[in-house]
Amino acid sequence: MSDKKNYCIEINHEAAGNISFIRGTDIERYNAELGYWLAEPYWNQGIMSEAVKQAVEDYLNNSSTVRIHANVYDNNPASMKVLEKAGFHKCGIFRKACFKNGQFVDCHCYEFVNLKKIN
């Protein structure tokens, strides 16, 4: 499997969003970072929650990845809910770790660990 994997979210035969995984290297080769976006007209409809669940399942089934992590800006509780609904757990907060829209913001770290692969 390559170091990157992308899933297109298609609605009415048009791209409406994306989910991507970037695999770590060397000692982090069993980790991957998750990123995603969805066009605003489709927000708050449960689309991303379901898409992330399906993409995580497919990615884990077709890779050696054990742990997936994602970072969410402090002002994006909807994205935090997406991850929680997909089985991710908050593992920490990086204080003032990002500079967005002219200000420093906290970044919440979430992780999903597939213990079935290591037990």
Cβ atoms of 108 and 90 closer than 8 Å: yes
Match domain 4-117 to its CATH number in 3.30.1390.10, 3.30.390.30, 3.40.630.30, 3.30.1490.20: 3.40.630.30
- The confidence score (pLDDT) of residue 116 equals 82
For residue 12, give both structure tokens: 């009415």
Q: What does the pLDDT average to over 102-111?
A: 96
**Confidence (pTM):** 0.90
pLDDT higher at 9 or 116:
9
The per-residue pLDDT for range 13-66, each reduced to its tens digit, is 999 999 999 999 999 999 999 999 999 999 999 999 999 999 999 999 999 999
Please report, rounded to a whole number, the percentage of residues in the chain having pLDDT higher than 90.
Answer: 90
Closest to 72 measured CA to CA, from 98, 50, 54, 53: 98
